[in-house]
Structure 1
Amino acid sequence: MANSTITPAGQPPAGQTSNFVDPVYDGTRFLVVNCVFLPLAVMALAVRTWTRMMVVRSVSWDDLLNYGLGKHMWDVPLDHYTPRFLKLNVVAAIIYCAGTGFTKVSVLIFYLRIFPSRGFRLAVWTIIFIAIGYNVASVLANVFACSPIAGSWDITITDVTCMNRPVFYFANAGLGIFTDFATVLVPIPWLRRLQMPLRQKIAIGVMLAMGCFVGVVSCIRLFSLYILLKSTDLTWATTNALMWCTIELNLGIIGGCITAMRPFVRRYFPRLLGLSSSSGYNGYESGSRKYGHPLNSIPRDQPDFSNRSHQYSTRLRGGVDNESAEYILPEPRKSGGAEGITRTVEFNVQNT
């Protein structure tokens, strides 16, 4: 109900009065989305961190609603709207821009670790450059949106100049959608050439599908921004846009962490990858005799297959035993022995 001692943040439309006691509230769905997706993102990040630090032991670079949100502005006291709500709105925009940028760059750096092709790396570095550039610009634009800076949240400042927010929001969203779909599409031509088990293809398919879904969510968010910019009821209309921002950011975090989960699944849930529960992560037990050859030093003459088994070795780029990003280096052996960590590949030959 109205209270003459409280100034509302906005004037109610004709036929309605301000209600500061039990106003209409639309923030529940935003709270539900956060309660669902935030724990999922935190768990995914925790599994990724545990996998990097404890399983593969390889850590890499790729690794408040009561101030007006969800209520009509005429049901929000002015001192809640400014500076509290508007200041939190700026902070949330900064965190969102930085978070989406880090997520995309993390996935793209992961690509660099598993695909050695020069053309592919050039394409990925181009997307990284675009993602870093527009996300850094977005963070700075949110910080310095108004001059003076406090003009972004303090409406009592009269002499203030602000940027054209609609143009900025749509440009930011457009670049975000472009990098979302580019991140998903760029590895597809190279992935088609890889020979891998069906379960791994399914896992990669799930990761790319989630990336596509993030792009779709970005498109929905763009539409919600259009509605927000057309509305004068900021505290009410912001709820829908922030909800889609939350879904997009948390799905991006989950998708980025999936790329590092295979060693974790292999150790603790091997049956999901078609492995027996007795298969160890650090190696496979074998009673056969072993013969080792450094990479590119296998004798030119035909190996003697009269023995029961042979063992050949390969080296991992960078000397890191990281199952999620490994490929064979075509480098000759230097004098003094092979360098880096050696991975052994065993095969048995049955004489008939």
Structure 2
Amino acid sequence: MDFSQLPPPRDPIGQMGAPYNSLQIGTFVSFVVTYFMATFFLACRYFQALKLIKNIEIDLIILTVCYGLALAYFITMVGLMDYGWARHMPEIIASNYLNLLEFNNKLLPNTLIYLITPAVTKMAMLTVLFRINPSVRYRICVGVVGGCIFAYTFVLTFLTGGPCTPLKGDETIKCLMNVAVAQSVLNIASDIAVILLPIPTIINLQLSFKQKLSVGAILGLGSAVVICSIARLPYSISLQTSQDLSWEEGILGIWSIVEINIGIVCGCAMRLKKLIVAYLPKMGWNSSHKKSTPYGSHSWGGTTAAGSKGGNKTFDEANGTKGDYQLHSVQKGSVEAGGSTDKILD
């Protein structure tokens, strides 16, 4: 590596911890801002679960795990800063503080946490999507997407902890970079798959275009994080040819922090309709709901299954499930028989 081509250090040369440079400070700011957002939305989800729904659902439990992993990821990143993370290579070399063994020891848990967390977040979103349509075909598709996410995450995690482990030193650097690129590409593909899953259900809704748009916006929130995944990809690719690896890793780390925390925000936001309806009625959800249901008798708290015997049973009664955020029926027809899934996310 030719360090003569790199910019000279701007900060005092010494131990690699504080004082932090601009990129490291940017890492702190990115985490504080996005983690505050994640905290706020997660708190809203818990308020809704305890106050309105009276039930802690599986997706909320999974998102809580992601919330803890996001904090652990940032803590490991701060530890890496003590060994040159997000600093220029000339500065690290000149400081005589280059300790690759300690750096790699801290890099391994940092990498493993990042590999796992986005996948866990998407699993939370899939648990929500799984319940919006009782069609066997639809639920098989949700299961296939979830299985693929689990499979590639398991393989990449195994490679990082085994054959490509940073504990082996320089001999595994290229392998780790390939893992980073592969994960970035697969994250984008899985994000897009999660976006596409509910589209057929939305298209078949017997609603106005405005109502379909609002339903699509709620479901689409679950994968808005794909923007972060796409923005992160070029930096993952550039690592393979970078002459200033530690600095490039710092930039990549910021995008990783944003991706993880925004994923938590999106996972929470796609399930906050009850809270919005209860406390922000001026947003117009109530009027939209009344237009979309032909019965006009059930409340927001219940969900009806069209075509069920004995009148307007709730969706839960008809399908033998618990919970109250399935889609409201607006047209008679059997989903299992190929009828339209004409429902609105509650």
Q: What is the TM-score when the length of structure 2 is the normalising length? A: 0.70
Following superposition, the deviation at residue 179 of structure 1 comes to 0.6
Inter-partner Cα distance in structure 1 for 2:231 and 2:196 = 20
Percentage of identical aligned residues: 22
- Of 2, 13, 24, which aligns to 2:4? 13
CA pair 200-251 structure 1, distance change in 2 beyond 3 A? farther
Larger relative contact order, structure 1 or 2 (CA cutoff 8 Å, min sep 6): 2
- Alignment-mate amino acid for residue 214 of structure 1: V
The unaligned stretches of length 5 or more in structure 2 are 61-77, 288-297, 301-306, 335-346
Matches within 5 A, 1:155-194: 164-194=175-205
Whether 2:118 is the aligned partner of 1:100: answer yes
State the secondary structure of the residue aligned to 1:168: helix
In structure 1, the residue matched to 2:292 is: none
Unaligned runs of 5+ in 1: 1-9, 277-281, 285-293, 299-311, 331-352
Structure showing the higher helix proportion among its residues: 2
Name the structure 1 match of 2:63: none
Q: Does 1:297 align with 2:290?
A: no
Which amino acid counterpart does residue 110 of structure 1 have in structure 2? V
d(CA) in 1 for partners of 2:197, 2:2: 50
Worse-matched range after superposition: 256-265 or 20-29: 20-29
Match of 1:230 among 220, 238, 241: 241
- Contact (CA 8 Å) 2:45, 2:271: kept in 1 or not? yes
Measure the CA separation in 1 of the matches of 2:153 and 2:31.
23
In structure 1, what residue type is equivalent to 2:325?
E
Deviation readout 1:228-259 (Å, 9 max, x if unpaired) = 22114222111111112122222222111112
One-letter code aligned to 1:74: P
Change (3 A) 1:23 1:172: closer
Q: 2:239 aligns to what SS in structure 1?
A: helix
Relative distance call for 1:207 and 1:20 in structure 2 (3 A) is: farther
**Which residue does 2:89 correspond to in 1?**
73
Instruction: Please say if 1:33 is aligned against 2:30.
Output: yes
More strand by share: 1
SS in 2 for 1:114: coil
48-57 vs 186-195, which moves further: 48-57
**Greater mean deviation of Cα atoms: 188-197 or 97-106:** 188-197
What count of residue pairs does the alignment treat as equivalent? 289
Structure with max Cα Rg = 1
Q: Aligned Cα RMSD in Å? A: 3.6
- Give the TM-score of the pair, scaled to structure 1: 0.69
Secondary structure class of the residue paired with 2:58: coil
